[in-house]
Amino acid sequence: MTDRLPARRVRDTVLTAAVAYALGRVTQARREARARRRAAGERRAGIRNGGAAGAGREPARAGVPVPRAAGQAGAAGQAVAAGQAVAAGQAVAAGQAVAADERRRIAGELHDLVAHQVAAMQVLATGARRALHRDPGAADRAMAAVEDTGRAALRELHRLLRALRPAGPAAELAPQPGLSGIATLARAARDAGLPVTVRTSGPLGAVPDGVALAAYRVVQEALGNVLRHAGPAAALVRLAAAGGALTVEVTDTGRGPAPPDRIGHGLVGMRERVALYGGILRTGPAPGGGFRVYARIPLDPAGAVRD
């Protein structure tokens, strides 16, 4: 499979896809972070106002000394203390939700950005080892691709770490990958030794960006999985826009699912992403052998598809 591995082409396609994706993720990450900061600010303001954020409601007086008769003062003091305890509880819960959200996002970033490149290195290294005695030149080229991919992975890791801090302006301009990026994914998989055919039908130009991005991620993960888990195989990617939904199917002719020996992030992440758009995802053995990933996502953001 690595007899004629074009190291430069592998590097270029992997880099192009990875950089476009990384920049897209950074933009998205930043938008999400801004939205979270806004939401957290509003929550904090609400808590400071004793929760009376609605228009026309009387502002709460927690912390504002108001002269009262002695009997009233005790009851009011207890109410204020209770209100403060509730507010503190809300603040802790809000903080925990934000932290959990952030952890989930970082895990997704690490998987999508870095795991794919490390997986590609693993495939290239296996190819190099197999070709070592038979064709040392091919092994050498494969190892050069491992080097380049490793460097790119490290760059992505640094980029990811930077994205988690306040970021610079360039990434704001980067587009998210969409359906047109799937051809690049297929090329990169072919360069890594997997024959891939892509078939499309229907008005794919009308697919909304978010749905297109979800489809791109499904194909990205599915092809990565074929490379890693299917053994010798060929893959077929089908994209069809019809009946108000986008259908994405990736099948391969490999060894099919093995008894689960570990739980990965890939299939879970795919399912979450597709569900976010009201779609469904099915994974498992393909009818004629091999593995099949099938997703159906509504084109109308308010819609939902059924089996």
Ligand X SMILES: Nc1ncnc2c1ncn2[C@@H]1O[C@H](COP(=O)(O)OP(=O)(O)OP(=O)(O)O)[C@@H](O)[C@H]1O
User: What is the binding site for Mg ion (CB under 5 A)?
Assistant: 225, 264, 266
Tokens encoding 141: 């080229």
Other C-beta atoms lying within 10 Å of the C-beta of residue 292: 19
> In whole angstroms, how far apart are CA 145 and each of 18, 188, 229?
15, 12, 21
In contact, 237 and 219? CB cutoff 8 Å: yes
CB of 165 or CB of 262, closer to ligand X:
262
Give me the helix-helix angle, 136-163 and 116-131, nearest 10°: 170
**For residue 20, which of 208, 190, 156, 163 has the smallest C-alpha distance?**
156
Q: How far is the CB of 82 from Mg ion (least distance, A)?
A: 49
Q: How far is the CB of 201 from ligand X (least distance, A)?
A: 23
C-alpha 172/C-alpha 78 separation (Å) is 50
Using the contact rule CB under 6 A, the part of the chain among 97-105, 177-185, 209-217, 258-266 near ligand X is 258-266
Task: Verify binding: residue 288, ligand X, rule CB under 6 A.
Answer: no
Residues in 177-236 at the binding interface with ligand X, rule: CB under 6 A: 221, 225-226, 228-230
Residue 40 CB partners (closer than 8 Å, separation 6+): 94, 98
Pick the binder of ligand X from 125, 257, 275, 278 (CB under 6 A): 257
Pick the binder of ligand X from 266, 273, 295, 296 (CB under 6 A): 266
Tokens encoding 168: 């610079």
Binding mask 122-141 for ligand X (x = CB under 6 A): --------------------
- Bridge partners (DSSP) of residue 297 are 246
Residue 275 CB partners (closer than 8 Å, separation 6+): 281
Task: Verify binding: residue 258, ligand X, rule CB under 6 A.
Answer: yes
Tokens encoding 57: 């409601």
Q: How far is the CB of 269 from ligand X (least distance, A)?
A: 8
Task: Verify binding: residue 148, ligand X, rule CB under 6 A.
Answer: no
Task: Verify binding: residue 267, ligand X, rule CB under 6 A.
Answer: yes
Task: Verify binding: residue 115, ligand X, rule CB under 6 A.
Answer: yes
Q: How far is the CB of 90 from ligand X (least distance, A)?
A: 35
Interface residue list for ligand X (CB under 6 A) = 111, 115, 221, 225-226, 228-230, 252, 254, 256-258, 262, 264-268, 291
